[in-house]
Amino acid sequence: MTSTIAVTRWIPDEALKVLAEAGEVKLSRADRPLTPDELREFVRGSSAIVGMLHDRIDGEVADAAGPDLKVVANVAVGYDNIDVPALAGRGITVTNTPGVLTDATADLAFGLILAVTRRLGEGERLIRSRTPWSFHLGFLLGSSLQDKTLGIVGLGQIGQAVARRALGFGMRIVYSGRSRAAEDVEKTLGAKYVPFDELLRSSDVVSLHCPLTPETRHLVDADALKAMKPGAYLINTTRGPVVHEAALADALEAGEIAGAGLDVFEAEPEVEPRLLDRENVVLTPHLGSATVETRTAMAVLAAENVASVLTGGNPLTEVRP
């Protein structure tokens, strides 16, 4: 019996070819996230689901798919959209796509750091608006990064990649997280492990790279923002709900921090309205992994996970409860 593989949104042809060798591919033609009802109907009778970060895949979705469902492949590193325990309890394998998007996301994170500290967005908007301007020594002054402290929350693969980039700009590195990095990692990066509250107090730029969990939801809230330096900047390229957006807007309005660069949002794709018109905020639409090479590699890895499980092999990158 041929396996049916439900793919909830467009993926590159390279990944579709891998899936086609393992079963019959059913690809959603909707150029948008499926509603919960649509998703349950779409996956009915499937042996595998290839989903995106906006697809909430829980026990109800698994039950709708039916008893043949063997694997759910999330085309993302984070898997807060997947009810892993519920699926594991039904004997369903869950996979993600770690590793392949590390450098692309780190590049984007550092791009946001440069954009907000050097006021690149403001300058670009000024030019496009055809506002008259002339060079002078006080014009659109930003903040340099040399000899400043970068605080990284979550020194995993992406956090380490951001740290390596920061070293090239002459920055000092401190970090916090659930656990310390290996000694050789700390030594190579010159990174100092500090408690989260100390990181907030001492960092000129705070860059978030922790997963979204119940413990990290709203990790950066009003109290955390008040603990930051008045001249500090907040960067978020991990998951939107790690930051309390309304509290961030309050902090920016009150001048409690200097600015923010956000690639992810609490109620994505919606954005806290008060952030939209602020000149000291740089906003990008979840572009962390958005290179041709990276998005293709993510989709291919997800497809290889599906193909391996459906043909009786082990998953390449399994997520365990």
3-state secondary structure 241-301: HHECHHHHHHHHHCCCCCEEEECCCCECCECCHHHHCCCCEEECCCCCCCCHHHHHHHHHH
Question: What is the mean pLDDT of the segment spanning 178-187?
Answer: 96
Of 1 and 191, more confident: 191
Chain segment 206-215, per-residue pLDDT in tens? 999 999 999 9
> Is 130 one of the annotated active-site residues of the chain?
no
Q: What's the pLDDT band for 187 if we cut at 50, 70, 90?
A: very high
**pLDDT of the residue at 320:** 93
pLDDT value, residue 282: 98
As a whole-number percent, the residues of the chain with pLDDT over 90 amount to 99
139 exposure class (CB count in 10 Å sphere: 0-12, 13-18, 19+): exposed
41 in catalytic set: no
Sheet with 71-74, side-by-side order of all strands:
24-27, 4-7, 48-51, 71-74, 93-95, 318-319
pLDDT-derived band of residue 1, with 50, 70 and 90 as boundaries?
confident
DSSP 31-63: SSPPPHHHHHHHTTT-SEEEE-TT--B-HHHHH
For 156, the token pair is 């995993």
Predicted pLDDT of residue 200: 98
Of 239, 258, 251, nearest to 122 by C-alpha is 258
Residue keyed to tokens 């907030």: 200
What pLDDT, on a 0 to 100 scale, did the predictor assign at position 165? Answer: 98
Is residue 136's pLDDT more than 90?
A: yes
Q: Please name every residue paired with 93 in a beta bridge, in sequence order, or none if there are none.
A: 71
Closest-CA residue to 301 (of 160, 108, 101): 101
Domains of the chain and CATH, by start:
4-98+292-319 (3.40.50.720), 102-283 (3.40.50.720)
> Which residues does 147 contact at the CB level (< 8 Å), separation at least 6?
170, 171, 172
Single out the catalytic residue among 209, 239, 244, 295.
239
Give yes or no for a cis peptide into 36 (omega within 30° of 0): no
- Given 201, 274, 278, 286, which residue is catalytic? 286
Q: How sure is the predictor about 284, in pLDDT bands with cuts at 50, 70 and 90?
A: very high
Label residue 86 by pLDDT band (50, 70, 90): very high
pTM for the model: 0.94
Arithmetic mean of pLDDT, 284-292:
98
Is 218 a catalytic site residue? no
Is the pLDDT at 137 greater than 90? The verdict is yes
Determine how β-strand 205-208 pairs with β-strand 191-193. unpaired
- pLDDT band of residue 313 (cuts 50, 70, 90) is very high
Q: What is the pLDDT of residues 51-85, one digit of tens each?
A: 999 999 999 999 999 999 999 999 999 999 999 99
Closest CA relative to residue 160, chosen from 168, 149, 152:
152
What gap in Å lies between CA 310 and CA 312, rounded to an integer?
6
Catalytic-role residue among 38, 60, 198, 268: 268
What is the average pLDDT score of the chain?
A: 97
pLDDT of residue 259: 98
Mapped to the 3 state alphabet, what secondary structure does 228-239 carry? Answer: CCCCCEEEECCC
At residue 227, the pLDDT reads 98
Over residues 103-115, the mean pLDDT reads 98
* Mean pLDDT score, 18-46: 97
